Amino acid sequence: MTAAHPDHTITLFVAKGGELAWLGHLDLARSIERALRRAEFPLRFTEGFHKRTKMRLPEPLPLGVGSEAERYVVHFAAQVDANEVTARLAGRLPRGVEVLAALAGSHPERKDAPLTLELEAEAEDALQAALGGLPTPLPTLSGVWSVVQTVTPLPAGGAIARVLLEAPAGGRVSVGRFLEALRAVLPGGLALRAVTRRVAWQADLVSLRSPARFAPDTPGEAGIRRE
């Protein structure tokens, strides 16, 4: 970024669910990029022969894991109103993907931010047994996990539970490894209907305005960031 080419950023809070939970990490990013292009926003691109939209992605989730709100930091070549971004993207994304809100500035989530997963299983007893047989901490998991909502039966059958994954400072936990370990507890595996990341982003919108909570962007950052 230079004085002649100012950089303006907007953080998008994007939800994905249903069958779109199976959309790959980079495929979802491309869907958002295409929607921004169709909405004719003044996007900023990388230098070089193969120019790409400058966009910082959230930490990847495994295939099949939905989310209430993932953060995408988009770089614009001109000042853009955050509310206008939300309005103009409505209806331009695949069904199951939704921009819930946009916030001016760069507000990426910390790598070591705790993750809350909601697990919906076919059988209540199997989910109870899997969580009960899983050690804390897991030998293959960086950080610890804990149950934050006991196994609750659903009216239509099956059950749900919520777990919290916490990483050490500066590290991150692997959702994929946690789910692999959970399924491995039972001899026949654990049949999960859905896995969704629950995010208390609405309560955090005001505090997100404080840049002190987040590390600054890396100088010279270019292109889609795949950390």
Task: Kindly state whether residues 80 and 171 are assigned to the same domain.
Answer: no
- Check whether 212 has a pLDDT greater than 50: no
Question: What pLDDT is recorded for position 221?
Answer: 35
Gyration radius (Cα) of the chain, Å: 19
pTM, 2 dp: 0.82
CA distances from 70 to 65, 122, 158, 167, 227 (A): 12, 26, 27, 18, 14
- φ and ψ of 208, to 5 deg: -65, -20
The range of the structural domain enclosing residue 124 comes to: 115-198
Distances (CA, A) of 221 to 7, 55, 110, 226: 12, 10, 17, 11
Question: What value does the mean pLDDT take over residues 83-112?
Answer: 92
What rounded mean pLDDT belongs to the chain?
Answer: 84
pLDDT level of residue 209 (50, 70, 90 thresholds) = very low
In a domain, 221, yes or no: no
Model confidence pLDDT, tens digit, residues 143-197:
899 999 999 999 999 999 999 999 888 888 899 999 999 999 999 999 999 999 9
Contact (Cβ atoms closer than 8 angstroms) between residue 10 and residue 76: yes
Using the predicted structure, report yes or no on whether residue 126 has a pLDDT greater than 80. yes
In a shared domain, residues 143 and 49: no
Average pLDDT over residues 52-75: 93
pLDDT band, residue 46 (cuts 50/70/90):
confident
Same domain, 122 and 13: no
Q: Does 106 lie in the same domain as 13?
A: yes
Per the model's pLDDT, the better-predicted residue between 65 and 227 turns out to be: 65
Higher pLDDT, 67 or 200: 67
Inside any domain, residue 218? no
Q: Are residues 145 and 125 located together in one domain of the fold? A: yes
The number of distinct structural domains making up the chain is 2
Q: Is 16 helix (H, G, I), strand (E, B) or coil?
A: strand
Name which of 136, 126, 132 is nearest 159 in CA terms.
Answer: 126
pLDDT at position 97: 94
